[in-house]
Amino acid sequence: MVVDVVMPKMGESITEGTILEWRKGVGDTIATDEILLEIGTDKVDAEIPTPNSGIITEILAEPNDVVEVGKVIARIDTDESGATPTPSETTPEPETETKPEPPPAIKQPEPLPPVPTKPESPVPSAEKKYYTPVVKSIARKEGVSQEELAAITGTGKNGRVTKKDLLAHLEQRTATQVAAPEPPAVSVSVPVVSQLTDERVEMDKMRRSIAEHMRLSLDTSAHVHLMNEVDMTHIVQYVDANGPSFKAREGFSLTYTPFIVYACVRALQAFPDMNSSLEGTTIIHKKNVNIGLAVAVEAGLMVPVIPQCEELNFLGLCRKVRDLAVRARTKQIKPEELSGSTFSISNFGMFNVTTGTPIINQPNVGILGVGTIKKKPVVIETPQGDTIGIRSIMYLSIGFDHRLVDGAGGAQFIEAVQKNLENMDLEHLF
């Protein structure tokens, strides 16, 4: 039986993917769950396993081809015994050794090959090569043209130019420029190109896809943002005091992110509208709280999902946050782990940013922005009177769709997250 292999869905709002590399070819035998090809989108590069074992009979897309989700890209014959070899694989019958040799024929003079007027020197084509988003980004910033990029010898798979290759090329180019002698005062007239000349570079496919998703979100949702500050002093003190023992026990560091996720999940349970989506005029209240956690990776940004957060205790959240962050940065995230979120969290505080207004991740209704924690002098109200003290303060921002959530609802939600953090029972987390 011949089974169709289709372009998988690689995440929410993803309608197509780019073929990066085929790990198997026509005629190859492949086992179930063995890696068949590598696919890339604006969100993730992923290795795709085969759904069935058998022999690959057809490959319908080439590397660098952009294919719509659901379109057939290959076919596998699951009946290996019924597979026939391709004409190129057919072995010709050997000649009989006793066959008499024919008399030597008079050799006719062979015509001389035409003398090429120009030496052939294949020039790599930048259009047929695949470059990762990070390579393209560095190339744009450093003014590396498509022709120069194509001429770099890549050390990656199938000669792919890696970030390391590009940086080494730039270092060599800079050294060459520094070592170049000063031009003589009188020389042959050579046109001088100003270093301030503008360069026009077409956006690559992945960047265009990201731009389209962001524009679509702004066109779809009526964005409103509210901000509030949170006193994180007691959580900071708790992490400082218990972080070493936690790392010794679990093998990784205790961060602030699980505390924020824990507080956010309980606020979402109290305000179900924020854990919803809109389809036209229909409100869909999600049964589970699935948190999309934005993770900065080398190629940009990835939003893997922690499903059913309401069923996880604090330690379970710590392990999930750690696992997703590590696998996202090592390209081990599965495509299905990038879809199904009901609410998103973007922590830009790790980049020492105080606050921001993140764009809603469709089809979510809300997104929580988390700023860095900084010590500030604040007024502390006590029964004995007001005092000024140094506290660890963090800014939260909530972006929500005003079509469903009003300003009052957004304010109540961010206040709930604030109180959940400031009043968290730290002694009974584990």
Pairwise pLDDT comparison (213 vs 399), residue with the higher score:
399
Give every CB contact of residue 152 below 8 A, 6+ residues apart in sequence: 161, 165, 166, 169
Residue 185 lies in a domain: no
Of 21, 54, 81, which residue sits at a domain end? 81
Examine the domain organization and report whether 283 and 323 are in the same domain.
yes
> Is residue 112's pLDDT more than 60?
no
pLDDT at 122: 46
User: Residue 376's beta-bridge partner residues?
Assistant: 391
Please give the residue range of the domain that contains residue 12.
2-81
- List the CATH number of the domain containing 212: 4.10.320.10
Report how far residue 321's alpha carbon sits from residue 263's, in angstroms, rounded to the nearest whole number. Answer: 14
In tens, the pLDDT along 328-342 reads: 988 888 888 999 999
User: Please, which pLDDT band fits residue 225 given cuts at 50, 70 and 90?
Assistant: very high
Residue 211 is assigned to a structural domain of this protein: yes
pLDDT band at 142 (very low <50, low <70, confident <90, very high): confident
Is residue 94 over pLDDT 60?
no
Please determine, for residue 288, whether its predicted confidence score (pLDDT) is greater than 50: yes
What does the pLDDT read at residue 184?
Answer: 57
Q: What is the CATH classification number for the domain harbouring 26? A: 2.40.50.100
Query: 256 and 330 share a domain?
Result: yes
What's the mean pLDDT when you consider all of the chain?
84
**62 and 140 inside one domain:** no
Catalytic residues: 402, 406
pLDDT digits (tens, 9 = 90+) for 144-179: 888 888 888 888 767 778 877 888 888 887 766 655
Q: Tell me, what's the pLDDT at 408?
A: 97
Distance CA 210, CA 216 (A): 10
Q: Are strands 29-30 and 54-59 parallel, antiparallel or unpaired?
A: antiparallel
Task: Work out the number of other CB atoms within 10 angstroms of the CB of residue 378.
Answer: 15
| Domain contains 382 | yes
The DSSP secondary-structure symbol of 98 reads T
How far apart are alpha carbons 405 and 401 in whole angstroms? Answer: 6
